[in-house]
Structure 1
């Protein structure tokens, strides 16, 4: 069984989370500059068995897509060319940033630490992955 990788794609940074090989536990992996995302994924997927990639689908409250969706579609076209054999699923990511921020508060992080946007992105990717594991 391969791992499931989740991406919280952003124009500047992308949060990344990964499961264990049994697909039971979701863990934050890292946050990378979006401009370096493809290089990171090429290296990571070459060394780890990944069978599914989840990409957050940002939507407004009314269900319409956010503006970043245009950039995500461009990224996905490049992704499919490089990783044509990998399955990709989209996952609704509404409210994951707010949930990530609340998680940081609940875990006792100081205000200065909660301002780390890279950590928020990584936690958001982990929430996307957790929700997929739970709800399918």
Structure 2
């Protein structure tokens, strides 16, 4: 089987998570500066067997798209041009940053470590990926 890659897209930096090859466990991969994201993804997908890319879909409480969806749509267009052979799916990402932050507290991370926004983005991507995996069961 192939891995599933998840993206928590941000205008400054983007969190990434990936499954194992059996698509059982979601793990944080890294955080990438968003201007370098497409190059990173292209390189990663050439080295690893990726079956699907899952991108977080930010929504407001009333279920309408959030303001950042405009940026994500532009990214998705470039992604489909850069890596056209890998399908992209979307997952509701409401509350993932709050859940990520809470998991850092629960995990015992110190206040300075919890201020690391890159780590929050990576954990958020992992939550997006786990949500996707749970939905497939």
TM-score between the two structures when normalised by the length of structure 1: 0.99
| Alignment deviations for residues 47-100 of structure 1 (CA, whole Å, 9 cap, x no partner) | 000000000000011111111100111111111111111110000000000000
Alignment of 1:28-67 (within 5 A): 28-67=28-67
Distance in 2 (alpha carbons) for counterparts of 1:93 and 1:104: 18
Where in structure 2 are there 5+ consecutive unaligned residues? none
**Following TM superposition, where does structure 1 have runs of at least 4 consecutive aligned residues deviating by more than 6 angstroms?**
none
Alignment of 1:67-78 (within 5 A): 67-78=67-78
Task: Show the counterpart of 1:95.
Answer: 95
Distance in 2 (alpha carbons) for counterparts of 1:68 and 1:10: 8
Give the superposition deviation at 1:132.
0.8
- The answer to whether residue 122 in structure 2 is matched with residue 122 in structure 1 is yes
Q: How many residues align?
A: 136
